[in-house]
Chain A
Amino acid sequence: MAFRIDYVARETGQNLRRNWLLALATIVVVAVSLAALGGVFLIKSGIERAFAKWSDDVSFIVYMNASAPQDQIDSVGRQLEDNPQVASVDYFDRTESYELFKRIFEKDDPEIIDTIKPEDLPTSFRVRPRNSDADVVQELAKTFEPKPGVYSVEFPSEQIRQIQRGAERATTVLLGVSVVLIAASSVLIFIAIQTAVFSRRREIEVMRLVGATNWYIRTPFLIEGLVQGLFGALIAGSGLGVLTALVVGDEGWLNDTILEKFAWTTANLTGTLLWLGLIGVGVGVVSSFVATAWYLKD
């Protein structure tokens, strides 16, 4: 059976007009929820960028000289692996170091990426000791500083680790709150669509008796839910775009402040916007599908 686009557009438009206040409220709540979720995504990317060097599994990093010969590198690697206090060692060759370097500098100094080649970068060992006590780690790390070929040994101070842990907990809580908000918006879309279905129950009864398929009856409602989710996502996305320009742009609020390292990138923003669009549309379509399924059971 051919779908008539003008029919679907007209019916969807009528639904939205008839319950415009509820539709508007729904769109606003969807927008707020998605903006909150997107905000959490962006803050999380900022934090990840700031702490990119320090993942949970690494307690200190041994940087080799860029010019260190292979036998020195192998020797340090063996000594690390043989050390009974070391739980595991990850070797970052030049390519991996370059990838990490790009991640760290792509926002602040994109020019620098062009001037550096993988072979200019030192290789490094990421080391996880058995004992995570800061003093023990520091003691262990220091023993590798004077080895031949070692450029430097870096380890995070306890404060950085605490900040990192605190930030991660905060984003987890915020993520939880946004998930609750998203759930609330899907309930609201569900109610909006149920209201639309209810106010059109006579039409639906007639349609069923003249032989309209469930999909034909359902489509305008699905599009209505999709429109609400999509508009919510568009508003949330615009908000986050403005926020990004204000906060992390060249003249952004974070520039030259202590929080500058936590700035996210436009690439982070693009990724987040794509996710928001998908989530908005998904929440809209799924909620309205469930709402119509109640009425269209045979």
Chain B
Amino acid sequence: MIKLEHVTKVYKNDHTALADANVDIERGEFVFLVGPSGSGKSTFIRLLNRQETATSGKVWVAGKEIGEMPNWKVPQLRRNIGYIFQDYKLLPNKTVEENVAFALEAIGRPRQNIKTQVPAILELVGLAHKAKNRPDELSGGEQQRVSIARAFVNRPLILLADEPTGNLDPATTVGIMKLLDRINRTGTTVVMATHDRGIVDVMRRRVIELESGRIVRDQARGVYE
């Protein structure tokens, strides 16, 4: 599903964010990216949906080499990849259901389609009763659930999450992880960057550890350290 071959990313200021990374992620895997700040976790994730392009090496996603992909094909790629932000990035002037519907409207889905899919996904994330609320009326955990609903409403093959629990307390984090686990069980590949030792140790999934842009550990059913 995802494959990195000798991928190096050097930013314009000569900072090497990722150095000769080789990774193969199967369909339906749940992968934690761990490592200190600045170790290259975010760059790793941003390479997978073409927010960044590799300086050298090849990145394969869903059977396609995306580094050479023309810009006009990138939207099609991204429709297969859900993205979850640490700071949720909800639209403050839209309600919960409008925020989720927005992701489908933005790719031109017909209204009838949106009408059935949005309530279903809100049910899945446990927020059907808050559909009419605005983001500022929700707790941090609830806001992240909306963000997950928005990322998953189009049923992508891959879900990328950049520190999704970074702003949440431990109890709320457990709820979010249960939700991501549930989504993973539907066959969706999940790649999640995190600092949260507790959840990595509890979930015992594949762990890729980065240090100064290098992969120093790739362990099935791993722990944080």
The interface of chain A, by Cβ under 8 A from chain B, is: 1-4, 6-7, 202-203, 205-214, 216-217, 298
Contact = CB atoms under 8 A, between A and B. Distances in A.
A263 to B, nearest CB: 53
Interface stretch (B100-108, B126-134, B174-182, B194-202): B100-108
B79 interface: yes
Given A2-B108, A4-B105, A210 B150 contact: yes
23 contacts: A1-B108, A3-B108, A4-B108, A6-B111, A7-B105, A203-B91, A206-B102, A206-B106, A209-B78, A209-B83, A210-B78, A210-B83, A210-B150, A211-B75, A211-B76, A211-B80, A211-B81, A211-B107, A212-B106, A212-B107, A213-B72, A216-B106, A298-B71
A1 B74 contact: no
A2 B110 contact: yes
Leading 6 A-B pairs by shortest Cβ distance? A211-B79, A211-B78, A212-B106, A298-B71, A207-B106, A1-B108
A207 B89 CA distance: 11
Contacts of B103: 206, 210
A14 B91 CA distance: 14
B107 A202 contact: no
A86 to B, nearest CB: 64
B105 A298 contact: no
Contact of B89 (A205, A213, A214, A216): A205
A297 to B, nearest CB: 9
Contacts of A7: 105, 108
B106 to A, nearest CB: 4
Interface of B: 49, 51, 71-72, 74-81, 83, 89, 91, 102-103, 105-108, 110-111, 150-151, 154
B51 to A, nearest CB: 8
Nearest to A203: B91
Contacts of A1: 107-108
A199 B17 CA distance: 31
Contacts of B80: 211
Contacts of A211: 75-81, 106-107, 154
B78 A208 contact: yes
B69 to A, nearest CB: 11
A217 B75 CA distance: 11
A206 B107 contact: no
Nearest to A209: B83
Contacts of B107: 1, 210-212, 216
Given A203-B91, A210-B107, A211-B79, 16 more contacts: A3-B108, A4-B105, A7-B105, A203-B102, A206-B103, A206-B150, A207-B102, A207-B106, A209-B78, A210-B78, A210-B79, A210-B83, A211-B81, A211-B106, A213-B72, A217-B106
A210 B89 contact: no
A202 B79 contact: no
A211 B154 CA distance: 10
Contacts of B81: 211
Contacts of B110: 2, 4
A2 B110 CA distance: 8
Contacts of A6: 111
B63 to A, nearest CB: 17
Nearest to A204: B106
A2 B72 CA distance: 16
Given A1-B108, A203-B91, A213 B102 contact: no
B106 A298 contact: no
Nearest to A10: B105
Nearest to B51: A209
A216 B79 CA distance: 14
Contacts of B79: 210-211
Most buried by B among A206, A209, A217: A209
A210 B106 contact: yes
A208 B151 CA distance: 12
A2 B112 CA distance: 14
Contacts of A208: 75, 78
A100 B77 CA distance: 64
Contacts of A207: 102, 106
Contacts of A217: 106
B21 to A, nearest CB: 22
